[in-house]
Chains A and B, each alone.
Chain A
């Protein structure tokens, strides 16, 4: 069974840092781009970042560029998101998602598997 399981969420003060993890199973991890999508309380979904299967190419939304870092360890089938310089507006549920291909630009199959999410709360 294809599965994604996020962890690492919690409460942190403004300016603090947190690292989220996503453990993948049931598919050949290195063959697919992976990403993070977040949802603030009562709000819609927002793209955060995604990374190619090899880990070489990374992409970020404007609201997190320069503060968040996406990475992956293909030997451990794990995806990470390092959250730095956190702000109150970063408070959200963070979902890990698998893209349907390593190169969504040329082979667009959408985000076909999602985790259940991990909650990040930024508050003083």
Chain B
């Protein structure tokens, strides 16, 4: 099972936008809309931020948005805030009921 590829880190100043990419293949991200994103501040459990590429669960601020183009999914945080500093993971759910995680991206608020 291949992991999805994410950049190790991204950073931005408060109020700026940052985008995290999640690159898979035509067998996972490229073929299915079963992509979700999770936020994990240090020492805490993950939290679902986006499901089915671009849908936000209730309670997630609308400055978090998701999209997909080809084999790459993306999470954008607009109006970056200090509380957004965390690790972010993408997940793809593929045929055969296989779950693939990205390696994680550390978001730093400067």
Contact = CB atoms under 8 A, between A and B. Distances in A.
Interface of A: 35, 37, 44-47, 50, 57, 59, 61-62, 95, 97, 100, 104-105, 108-112, 114-117
B48 interface: yes
A105 B97 contact: yes
Contacts, number: 74
A102 B63 CA distance: 29
B91 interface: yes
B45 A104 contact: no
B100 A116 contact: no
Contacts of A116: 44-45
A105 B54 CA distance: 17
Ranked nearest first, the 10 interchain pairs of A and B with the lowest CB-CB distance are A110-B36, A110-B51, A47-B99, A44-B104, A108-B34, A114-B45, A59-B97, A110-B48, A112-B48, A45-B101
Most buried by B among A46, A47, A108, A110: A110
* Chain B, interface residues (CB within 8 Å), range: 20 to 34
Contact of B46 (A50, A108, A114): A114
Interface string B31-63: 001101010100011111011100001000000
B36 A61 contact: no
Nearest to A44: B104
Contacts of A37: 46, 101
Given A104-B93, A108-B93, A111-B36, A47 B51 contact: no
A59 B89 contact: no
B103 interface: yes
Most buried by A among B48, B50, B102: B48
A113 B18 CA distance: 26
A100 B104 contact: no
